Each structure stands twice: as C-alpha cells, then as structure tokens.
Structure 1
Amino acid sequence: MLSLYIPPGRPVADVVNMLRQEASISQNIKLKRTRDAVESAITTAIDRLVSINKIPENGLVLFCGENFDTGGFKCYMFSPPEKVTVYFYRTDKQFHTEFLEDMVEVSEVYGLLIVERDQGTIGVLRGSRIEVLEEMEGYVPGKHMMGGQSQRRIDRIIEELYHDFLKSFGEKVNNYLLPYLESGKLKGILLGGPGYAKKDFYDSDYIDYRLKKLILLPLIDIGYQGEAGLREMVMKSKDVLKNQKYIEVEDLIEELKYHLAKDDGLVVYGKEEINKALQMGAIDKLIIFDDGTEENEKMVQEAEKYGTKVYLVGDEIPEAEWVRKTFSGMVGKLRFRI
C-alpha cells in the first residue's frame, strides 16, 4: 500500500521520476503477489500525478493500494486542509496516515501577531507546530528635517501611511484568523513587536472585535519578525501557553541538557537502554523523532503502557534535529537513576 506526501513547491515531474525509479526497483521483489501490488500502486499514483500541472498550495497526499484481507484496489489523491511539511514515500502493509493526524486532532490554535510601524508577521501555533502565514512590509518614513507647514504636512502623510499599514495588517489578520474563530479552534492571540505599534494596533479597531477580545495581555516585546520572532514570542509566553505541546517539548529539551551537563544519570538514550528503562517503569518523559516508521509507533504504544509521556516531534521543533542526530532519534528523562 503506497503512501506519498508531497509538500508545496515540489515539481510534479520530479515526483513522477522518483516513482518511476521505485517501479524499476520493485522488479527485485521476490514474492510475486507483493511485487504486482507495489507495481500497480506505483503505476496508479503516476497516472494520477501526470493529470495535474502543479502541487497545490497545501501540498498533496496519495494513498494507493490493494487490501489483501478485504480485496479491492483503492487510490485517493487530495490536498489536505493544512500544509504538508514532509516529503515522504513508503510502500507498506498499511497506509501511513500519521502525518495527517495532527491536522485532525489539534483542537486549539493560537494566533501569533508581530507588528511594527511598517512590518508585520502573522502566524499560528498548532500543537507543536509554529507556522508563518504571511510576512508583510510597507513603507512608513522615519524622521525628516522639514519645518513649518511642510513639517505638519509631512507628519500627516507619515501618520496616514502608518495608519494604512496597520489597517492592511488588520485586514490580513481577519482573513487568516476568523476561519479558526468561526470553527471554534482559536483559543487566543499573542500580540507583540519591538516598539509602540503593537499598542497602537491593540488600542484601535484594526481587527474584528471578536478577535480583539482574544488578544492575551500583556503585549510582548519582540525583537524580530518572521519565524524567529514568532518562536521568541511563544517562548516568552510560557505562562499563558504552559499546556501547549511546543512549550512542553522545548522545556523538556532544556531539562535534558541540564541533566546531561550535570552528568547525573537521569537521561537515557539508545533503543536497547530505553527499552530496558521502560520495562522498569523508570522513564518519565520520552522524545521520539517522528520518521513515520512502524517501529516508532510500537515504541509509543509500549511507553504508554508504563505511564511514560511521549512526545513525537518533527522538523517543526527547532531542536528536533539535535534529538535525531545526537540520540539517533530517541531520548528520555528518567524518574530515578538506574
């Protein structure tokens, strides 16, 4: 059963070429029934892909294959409600739907807004993922050397440009966040920036009154725009977002680094060592880099039997690469030394 996730921006021709290479490799499968099933799934996926010109803005997902137990061949191709963030291909005994599950399960969304006099960033925090929706840039002049009537006229022009930018930013915020509000998912909005613009934006009616009610105080001083600024804002709002997965994972990673520096024996890594510690009930929290493998799914199920809190993380967490490279994708915090 073929599972294929394609992020936006990837050329269709590149994906089709990859599938054709996989079709050639599948000739080496010894079991005829399996070989025929894989070839059929790949051929059908190629046929579906060549019928489109480009990958949609949220990416594309394909599930194609024959169910040996119930019989019948199925092929689904669709663009999911949120952006595909991984390029993933696998033929297996089942479809890999885990990358879609976070889109369905996350019921709470926080809006993230950074605004200054001529720049703005709009994003959202969903579970463990921060997503930049749009970055805006306008033109609002700074100080000038004019005097008299010219000074007052230019000051008015600058004030109008400033007002126009905040108004445009507010309209974008409405477009992006009102659908989350109307679906009941929007939990709150964080608003920040480097100067006075965030307060001007908050004090005026640049956004829908329903969204304004959801802005969480205090407003946050942020030094950056873009994704870096959104991450800084989220980390500065720990008290407000303490139950969000993103914050929990970041805090756990900092805790792991602290124990590693102390060398106090409260960090465990290596699959064999983690399995032993799990069976002793010794692991309090476990981070697993989510590569979509069945082995990881089994590890999650095993860990939950022993009351271990498991965090499956991907590239949406800044330190996920550290977990993947340093600890081969798996590291845990122990309840006690063993």
Structure 2
Amino acid sequence: MSSDVEAGEPSDDRREYEFRKVLEELDEFEGSGTQLVTIYVPEDHQISDVVAHVTQEHSEASNIKSKQTRTNVQDALTSIKDRLKYYEHTAPENGMVLFSGAVDSGGGRTEMVTKVLESPPEPVQSFRYHCDSDFLTEPLEEMMGDKGLFGLIVLDRREANVGWLKGKRVEPVKSASSLVPGKQRKGGQSAQRFARLRLEAIDNFYQEVAEMANELFVPERHELDGVLVGGPSPTKDEFLDGDYLHHEIQDLVLGKFDVAYTDESGLHDLVDAGQEALADQEIVRDKNLMEEFFENLHSGGEATYGFDQTRQNLVMGSVETLLLSEDVHDDVVAFECPEGHDEFELVDRRAETPTHECSVCGAEAEAGEREDVVEHLIEIAEQRGTETTFISTDFEKGEQLLDAFGGVAGLLRYETGV
C-alpha cells in the first residue's frame, strides 16, 4: 500500500494483507525523540475537528526546546493536514489512522514518512493523538490479531443477554428479564402447584432466550465461528441440555462457562472465561483447510502447490480456494524474452532482480514489473472469483505450507493435470 490515500474498493483479503504489510513496515520505523505522530480518527468524527486539533498541536509544538524535534513534529503535522484535504466531512467507514514523522534512514539521516490507513477491520473507537519515538500500531495489531464472529449468550433464571464477539469487540444486542418466581412460595399455594408453575415459567424463559438467540444467530449461521454460553449452574446446563436452540446453532456451541453476572458485563466475562476455546477456534478453520489440501494432494486429486503451478491454475480459473501462508515475504518478477515468452520468477524481497533465461527458447529475458507475490496472486484470484485464505504457521501443517510448498497452494474446483 502506498502512502497516498487510495481509491477503489480492494477485497477483504487484499485489504487484510495490505494492512499487515504496512503494520510490519511501521513497526520497523524509529524516530529520534518524540517526533512520530499517530492519529486515530473514528468514523463519525468531523474532519474539520481533526484539522483544528492538528493546527493546535502544530502551534503548541513551537514550544519544544529541541530545534530538530520541533521541526520534525511540525513537518509531520503539516503533512497530515495536507492529507486531510482529501476528505470532506467525516472519516471513511470504520474510521482511519494517520501516521507521519521523520524516521531514521541510517547514516545519521532521516526520511519523512506519511501513511494513511483507511477503513480498518474493526471500527476505531475513539479519537486519539499520539506523539512518540515509535508509531502507535498496537490498536491496529489487536484488530488484525483476532478475527472471527462468535455468538454470546449469558443467562440465569432472572435475566439474559445475547450479543456478538466480533474480533475483540463485544456487542450486546438483546436482553430479557424473566417472570420466574423465587423459590419461596406465597401462602395459600400448594407446594406441588408452586413447583409446577415455577418450572413452567423457567421453561418459558428459556424459550424466550432461545428465540432471541435464534433470531440473531440463525441468519448468520454460515459466518459464525462458534457460540459461547455462560451463566451459573445449573441454568446454562438446563438451557443447553433442553435443546432450546436451533439445531444448527446448538451444533456451533464451543462450550459452557461459569459466569457470575448475566447483564451486559456478563458478556465480557464470558469472553474472558472462554479464551481457551476461542484461541483453539482461531486455527480450526486453517487446520480443516490444510487437512483437505493434504487429503486431495495424497489422492492425486484437486490440489495445487508452489508458485508456478498454483499461478497457472489460478489463471485457468480452476482454483476454488487460494491458500497463502501469513509469513510469505517474496516478490515476483515478470520476464519477457525476445521471442515474446512471458515467465515469472520468485525473488527474495531483499535481493536484487536476477537475470533470467527463458525456459522455452533459452534466450535471456528482460525483467519487467516487480511486485509483492501475495498481491500478485490475490489480484488474479479476484479476477477469477477465487476465495483467498491466509494460513497461520502456529500449527504443524501451517508450517508445512510455508516450508515445504513455499507458502502458496490451492484447493481446485476440478483436476487439471497442471
């Protein structure tokens, strides 16, 4: 991603990769003193207010004692102010983050860097101005670190709350209060009648909670990564054992967890209690895809691997799912020989472009465009309607994808012989 504000609507896969790439670059930058400026802008924040804040900070920076730091901070703020001219009223969807500052470029020299990241994976929660020797990337890294969509249910016999866990953000959506009477019966009621009425009330409340959850979760069931249920015993056990939930939602339940509170704060407690289950779930999809890949590979069927083979299949439109390791860091160079043969070669990102001999006619080929291999493959995938999935290296088969197959593979729609 360039440092300019970019037009167009890249796919989620490409946006995710570009964010990761820029964050890695930003993390490597260092400033001499507190001169690297980071500004987080929420979606609904007025651009005019941001400009006013930047103008005020520019004025206050004149009080910085160090002439070099003062100049660098003011230059960074001027650069940010110039970028804000691209925006009219409010920030883009989910907000944006601006980075600017003089970074060390070696040999005692500095280089001015300015970058704008629009529409992060999760909404920017609040306006934040930060000036330090490093860019503030932790909030963005947290957004990138935890993905997924999970349903949350907390209940006891008095109340219930239902909501979402989107990435790291908990969103309460629906709540209900019960009409279940206390354990002490009123005078004039027989013990049996009171017990029966109480059980009926409990059953009716569980049905109400299930209806809330089903209305919220069923439409998103194909996107859901799991459901967590929390509350005291025996409430959560009765609720799950009673099969109140829609069967497809019941099948997505990752576990039940002891939670003391069942108001909105209980949803946050549920996420804390379910951390282990959530951590396991983050790589379940990756594991399933890699299991399918190896099964297809061993059967000699619908699998492709390596850059050349996978690229050929992508161009043919035969790849259903492109599998890319999160740790691929290569470039691809396009070569063309005098006879017009086009070929591509992977090159280490830090290495110079090599010479290339055409594999068809043996002539020396001329190097053309050089680009990031992931962006190159994703662009082809988008054109062919191919889904792209980034595979973690936090498990054995994820490591194998990187080490044994160069971090590039695919599940095919049909056998191609390539």
Structure 1 length normalisation: TM-score?
A: 0.48
Give the structure with higher Rg (CA): 2
